[in-house]
Every structure is written in structure tokens, then in C-alpha cells.
Chains A and B, each alone.
Chain A
Amino acid sequence: AQTVTQSQPEMSVQEAETVTLSCTYDTSESDYYLFWYKQPPSRQMILVIRQEAYKQQNATENRFSVNFQKAAKSFSLKISDSQLGDAAMYFCAYNGPGGSYIPTFGRGTSLIVHP
């Protein structure tokens, strides 16, 4: 079975600085998708960024970028120039054929942004 591990229950960062959230996963598949979702307090969970495993280039979306290390099964999220609005719970997720395309989520990392 696929597993997704987020080893940091909580992280904090100063406004305007950079923070990296860690995620590791376990799969025997070669083609799959990885995602980072953001869930602000009392607000809707939204997709932040997506990475397709067959693409070697790391995905980026404005201030958000990933470091995808396929061999190491690592998928970290880097947030640059952190803003107060980035404070949220961040979930790493895996989706692929091995799990019958049912997503597997990590336990989440709570990001605190200090002004």
C-alpha cells in the first residue's frame, strides 16, 4: 500500500523568509502524481502544486516550488517570501495506479507565519 509521511507536525517561518515542508512517500509504481494541498483555518482546501512523476523538472507556481527526488521518494514544498496568508495546514498527497487512483494523504504540517 502507498504511504505518505509528513514528519513535521508544525513549522514556523518569519514573514518574507523561506520555509521548506517535507514529504516522503512509498510506492512501487513508476508513474504517479504528487500534490500539495493547502487548508487555511476554517477555509476550503485548495491545490497548491502538482508534480507528475515522469517529469524530471520540478513544478513551480509563483512563490511555491517543489524539490522532487524520485529515487529518494521525496517531495518537499518550498515557500519563498512567506506571507501571512500562507498560514495553513499543508497536506502532501499521492495518487497513482497502485492505489487504484484513490489519493493517499499525509497527516499534514501546520505552518505558522510570524509577522
Chain B
Amino acid sequence: ETGVTQTPRHLVMGMTNKKSLKCEQHLGHNAMYWYKQSAKKPLELMFVYNFKEQTENNSVPSRFSPECPNSSHLFLHLHTLQPEDSALYLCASSQGYGGEWYEQYFGPGTRLTVT
């Protein structure tokens, strides 16, 4: 596969469930990002990893827990979510700090519904 992939594409979970979102990039990039995209709201940056180190945590509630085991994989672990967490979760990658950040490459997103 090429580019940035995300699984699952759709997820419905109850407020007491635990689930994980997965992102994988096949571009040789060093920086990876999680965004939340809700209807009628701006794109919200959640987390940034550069060379596997978290460089940004944009005041995200602790019920969202990121994990970046290597530069190609990024996870978002979810637990005890709220209905307002329902949104499209986008993963992106870029070359990262140390080179040029340039543009981001986005995955197709995971449509999350919390019931």
C-alpha cells in the first residue's frame, strides 16, 4: 500500500468500551499527527509525534491516549468516550523536524460514533 492508511474506517462504540485507531504511513516520514474533524468546527490538532517523540498535546482529554511505536505507525487508544467525541479522526504524516516539514499527507480518516 502507498500513502497513509487508517483502520478501521468506521467505528461505533459505547461509552464504556475501549478501542484503538490505527494509522500507518508508507512514505518514510518522521512526523505523524492526529486530528479531530467535527461538523461545523475547525480542524483540531490533537497530537504530534516527531521521530517517535510526542512534541504536541493540544490539551486533549486523557480518555484519548496516543502511541507511536515507530515512525511508521501511530495509534489512538480510546476509553470511556463521550457522545461529543463522535467525529472524523484524521491521521497525517510529514517529513518532520530536522528536514523540511513541508506539506502533510492525510489518511482517509476513521468515522467514530459514540453511543
Instruction: Check B90–A105 contact: CB distance below 8 A.
Output: no
B108 / chain A contacts, CB cutoff of 8 Å: 43-44
Instruction: Check B43–A91 contact: CB distance below 8 A.
Output: yes
B43 / chain A contacts, CB cutoff of 8 Å: 91, 105, 108
Check A11 for interface membership: any CB of B closer than 8 A.
Answer: no
Which of B42, B56, B106, B109 is A102 in contact with, Cβ under 8 Å? B56
Q: How far is the CA of A95 from the CA of B96 in the complex (A)?
A: 12
In the assembled complex, the CB of A8 is this many whole angstroms from the nearest CB of chain B, namely 15
In the assembled complex, the CB of B71 is this many whole angstroms from the nearest CB of chain A, namely 16
Interface 0/1 of A94-115, CB less than 8 Å to B = 0100001111011110000000
Interface 0/1 of B100-114, CB less than 8 Å to A = 011111111100000
In the assembled complex, the CB of B105 is this many whole angstroms from the nearest CB of chain A, namely 8
Instruction: Check B42–A107 contact: CB distance below 8 A.
Output: yes
Q: Find the B residue at minimum CB distance from A103.
A: B104
Check B13 for interface membership: any CB of A closer than 8 A.
Answer: no
Q: How far is the CA of A35 from the CA of B48 in the complex (A)?
A: 19
